[in-house]
């Protein structure tokens, strides 16, 4: 299975900050990487697919980049509703699909 | 707009079989661009993909759970189901059903149910 490592696990930030979350994979996955946001008590919601494509309806302050084994999710100008947990997910080649362990963005 | 809703017992005894159903509205299970997945999340932890099934019944399971998992689909009811046998406390989690969309070769979980908590306890 492809292992996913996210960092940091917790990210203190303030409203208006720009924050970056990193996801590293155990093998090259081209751009087969998605990012999800999960608010407490809710199901995850896809933000970015294929590493850098913004899902319809997602604010433009979210952006993704990377390929191969190293990926980033950036939130520019953090809003109150962005304090949540973020997961990366790979879909390279064949199942099982795997997720990172999550990064929780918390209020500083 | 696709909507998914999980249903099933919230409490299962150790060694028994966990059974959940996901009802889908707003789309047909038979659409070829979709697989239908189960994903679980223990309290305070990350997400684990359990497996998926196509509208025609083709399956893939996570190797870590494969020996205990069975998925099925009922296109007449637009539902798909999960059975997980020989459960232990480690299987206590929120279980989500989700649609698995292929955008070219990229797989996205685009619609999710609200999740249902299943507790394994005697």
Q: What is the pLDDT of residues B13-31, one digit of tens each?
A: 999 999 999 999 998 888 7
- Residue B50's nearest CA partner among B117, B101, B10, B95 is B95
> Of A43, A89, A100, which has the smallest distance from its Cβ to B114's Cβ?
A43
Cβ pair A96:B64 closer than 8 A: yes
Burial of B57 (0-12, 13-18, 19+ CB in 10 A): exposed
The count of CB pairs under 8 A between chains A and B is 64
Query: Looking at chain B, how many residues does it have?
Result: 122
The 10s digit of each residue's pLDDT in B56-113 is 999 999 999 999 999 999 999 999 999 999 999 999 999 999 999 988 888 999 999 9
Output the pLDDT for position B32: 67
pLDDT tens string for chain A (108 positions)? Answer: 999 999 999 999 999 999 999 999 999 999 999 999 999 999 999 999 999 999 999 999 999 999 999 999 999 999 999 999 999 999 998 899 999 999 999 999
DSSP-derived 3-state class of residue A80: helix
Cβ pair A49:B96 closer than 8 A: no
Count of CB atoms situated within 10 Å of the CB of B64: 13
Output the pLDDT for position B1: 87
Q: Which residue, among B46, B50, B113, would best test binding to A if mutated, counting the most A CBs under 10 Å from its CB?
A: B46
> Of A34, A96, A100, which has the smallest distance from its Cβ to B49's Cβ?
A96
The 10s digit of each residue's pLDDT in B30-47 is 876 789 999 999 999 999
For residues B11-35, one letter each, b for 16 or more C-beta atoms within 10 angstroms of the residue's C-beta and e for the rest, the string is: ebeeeeebbbbbbbeebebeeeebb
Using an 8 Å Cβ cutoff, are A42 and A35 in contact? no
Q: Which residue, among B43, B49, B54, would best test binding to A if mutated, counting the most A CBs under 10 Å from its CB?
A: B49
How far, in Å, CA of A17 to CA of B21, rounded?
42
């Amino acid at each position: 299975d492809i292992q996913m490592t996210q960092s940091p696990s917790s990210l203190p930030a303030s409203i208006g900050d720009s924050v970056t979350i990193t996801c590293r994979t155990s093998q090259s996955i081209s751009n087969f990487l998605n990012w999800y946001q999960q608010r407490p008590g809710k199901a995850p919601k896809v933000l970015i697919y294929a590493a850098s494509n913004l899902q319809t309806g997602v604010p433009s302050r979210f952006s993704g980049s990377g390929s191969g084994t190293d990926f980033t999710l950036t939130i520019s100008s953090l809003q109150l509703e962005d304090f949540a947990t973020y997961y990366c997910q790979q879909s390279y080649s064949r199942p099982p699909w795997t997720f990172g362990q999550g990064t929780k963005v918390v209020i500083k | 707009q696709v909507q998914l809703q999980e249903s099933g017992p919230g409490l299962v005894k150790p060694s028994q079989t966990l059974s959940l159903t996901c009802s889908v509205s707003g789309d047909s299970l038979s659409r070829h661009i979709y697989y239908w997945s189960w994903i679980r999340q223990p309290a305070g932890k990350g997400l684990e993909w359990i497996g998926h099934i196509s509208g025609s019944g083709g399956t893939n399971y996570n190797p870590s759970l494969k020996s205990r998992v069975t998925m099925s689909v009922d296109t007449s009811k637009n539902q798909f189901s999960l059975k997980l046998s020989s459960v232990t406390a480690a299987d206590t989690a929120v279980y989500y059903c989700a649609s698995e969309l292929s955008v070219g070769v990229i797989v996205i979980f685009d619609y999710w149910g609200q999740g249902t908590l299943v507790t394994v306890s005697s």
